[in-house]
Amino acid sequence: MFAEAEKVIPGGVNSPVRAFKGVGGTPIFVKEAKGAYLYDEDGNRLIDYINSWGPMILGHAHEPVVNAVIEKAKKGTSFGMPTEIETKIAELAVSMVPNIDKIRFVNSGTEACMSAVRLARGYTGKDKIIKFAGCYHGHSDSFLIQAGSGASTFGTPNSPGVTKGTAKDTLLAQYNNIDNVKALIEANKGKIACIIIEPVAGNMGCIPPKEGFLQGLRTLCDENDMLLIFDEVMTGFRLAKGGAQELYGINADIVCFGKVIGGGLPVGAFAARNEIMNYLAPLGPVYQAGTLSGNPLAMAAGLAMLTELNTNPEVFKRLEDKTAYLHEGIAKVLTENSITHTINRVGSMISVHFDEADVVDFDTAAKGNNDTFKKFFHGMLNAGVYIAPSAFETWFITDALSYEDLDFTIEAVKKVATAL
C-alpha cells in the first residue's frame, strides 16, 4: 500500500511525520480503530498512544461522537451558511475556557494559529512576533522558523519558500528562558505584537513550563503592550476543562485550539475577550474566513466531545492517574535495565527521552539518543504498542485505555529494554 501511495502522494503521506523517516521502515496503514486500539491493514492490533496526535481523549470511534456525525450527515454536510449548532458549541467552549468571550471556528490548528497572529498584529498595530524554538504552531509561513514536530524530525526547521521578509518578523526565543525573551523585547522595543507559545510544549517531546515562566511572559506582555497567545491545540480540553490557562492559573489574550475541539474531525478555533475578537471581520478590520468553517459534521462531533468532557470532569483525573501509572511503570523498567532516560509528563501528555539531563528546551530535547529511540520505537511496535515515530513527539493518553492495557505497555517496555 505504501509503494502505491508513494506513486501518487509525495512521500506516500499527507503529513510528513507519518512517513517513519525519523525511525526508518514504512508507515502502518490503519484499517480501523476502536477505543484504545488501532487495527492495521496486516491484521495487527496496536495499543494507540498517538490518538490522532491528541484529540481521541475518549477513544476511537467513541459512540456519542460517531452517532452525532451520522445523524448530522443525513441532513446535509455543508452549507456555507450559519447553523444553530455553531452557537451551541461556541457557548459551551466559552463556558469551559477561562477569559474568553467569543470564539471563531476554522478547519485546523494551522489556521487557528495563523489567524490568531494576524489578529494580534492587527489589534496592536505591530509586526513582529516571538515564538519559541521547538514549538510548532502549524505550517503557515511565520511559524516555520525553528519549528518542532516533523520539521525537527526531518532536520528542516527553516523551510525554503518562506521569504526573508516573513522570516525577519519572527523572533526566536529559547523555551523556559525568560531572560532571553526580555532581551528580544529590549532589542525590538515597540515592534512586537505578541508572544505565541505552547504553554506545555508537545512538539519537542513533552516539556513543561518552568515555575514562573508563563507568569513571566504574562507580565512582559502587560508591560510592553503585547498579546500573549497560548497555542492550546494539544493542551486545550486535555489538561483540564479550561486547558493550560486553568491548570496554571494564567490568562492568555488569545487562545488557539485544534483537534480536540472537533472530536477528531478537521476543526480548529481561536478565542479571546470581546475587545480583541470584535476586531475580526465582519465586525472589525482584520480579515479571516473559511467556506467549511463551522462545518456541521465537525461541529456535531465537537459538541458531542465537549459535552462529555464538560459533564464528566472526572475524565481529567482518570487521565492523570493512568498517565502517572504508566510513567512510574516505564521509569522503573528503564532504570532496572540501566537505560539512560528522562521522562517528562504533564497530565495526560508524556514523553520518554533517552538522555539523563533535564529536558527543558529544544537544545536539551535534541540531545536525546536517536539510535536508542529508533530501536525503542520498533521494539514497541513489534510488541503491539504504537508510539509516535519521532522522539520529538508526545504520547497522548486516552481514557479508553484500561489498566490491563497500561500493564501490557509496561511489559512491552520490559521486553524492549532487555533487548536494548
SS3 helix, strand, coil % of the chain, rounded to 5? Answer: 40, 15, 40
User: Does the footprint of ligand PMP cover residue 202 (CB under 6 A)?
Assistant: yes
Q: Which is nearer to ligand PMP, 204 or 333 (CB)?
A: 204
Show the site string, 147-166: x = touches ligand PMP by CB under 6 A, - = not.
--x-----------------
Q: Which one of 37-45, 133-141, 173-181, 347-355 is the stretch in contact with ligand PMP (CB under 6 A)?
A: 133-141
The catalytically annotated residue of 128, 259, 322, 414 is: 259
Interface residue with ligand PMP, options 51, 108, 342, 351 (CB under 6 A):
108
C-alpha cell at 19: 512517513
Contact between 239 and ligand PMP by CB under 6 A: the answer reads no
295 binds ligand PMP (CB under 6 A): no
Kindly give the pairing relationship between strand 192-197 and strand 227-231. Answer: parallel
Q: What is the C-alpha separation between 188 and 180, in angstroms, rounded?
A: 13
86 sits near ligand PMP (criterion: CB under 6 A): no
Evaluate the omega torsion of the peptide bond into residue 98 and state whether it is cis, within 30 degrees of 0: no
Nearest residue to ligand PMP, scored by beta-carbon proximity: 109
Distance CA 140, CA 313 (A): 34
CA gap 128, 190 in Å, rounded: 9
Q: Report in angstroms how near the CB of residue 140 gets to ligand PMP at its nearest.
A: 9
Cell numbers for 137, please give them: 504552531
Question: Which is catalytic among the residues 136, 175, 248, 386?
Answer: 136
Q: Which of 12, 205, 258, 368 binds ligand PMP (CB under 6 A)?
A: 258
Kindly state whether residue 342 participates in binding ligand PMP, applying the rule CB under 6 A.
no
Closest Cα to residue 298, out of 15, 68, 36? Answer: 68
Which one of 22, 27, 59, 109 is in contact with ligand PMP (CB under 6 A)?
109
Minimum CB distance to ligand PMP smaller for 256 or for 413: 256
Q: How far apart are CA 62 and CA 69, in angstroms?
A: 11
Q: Is 198 in the site for ligand PMP (CB under 6 A)?
A: yes
Work out the widest C-alpha separation in the chain, in whole angstroms.
62
126 given a catalytic annotation: no
Nearest partner of 376 among 148, 205, 156, judged by Cα: 205
What is the rounded CA–CA span in Å between residue 304 and residue 322?
Answer: 23
| Site membership for ligand PMP, residue 234 (CB under 6 A) | yes
Residues contributing to the site for ligand PMP (CB under 6 A): 53, 108-110, 113, 136-138, 149, 198, 202-203, 231, 233-234, 258, 268
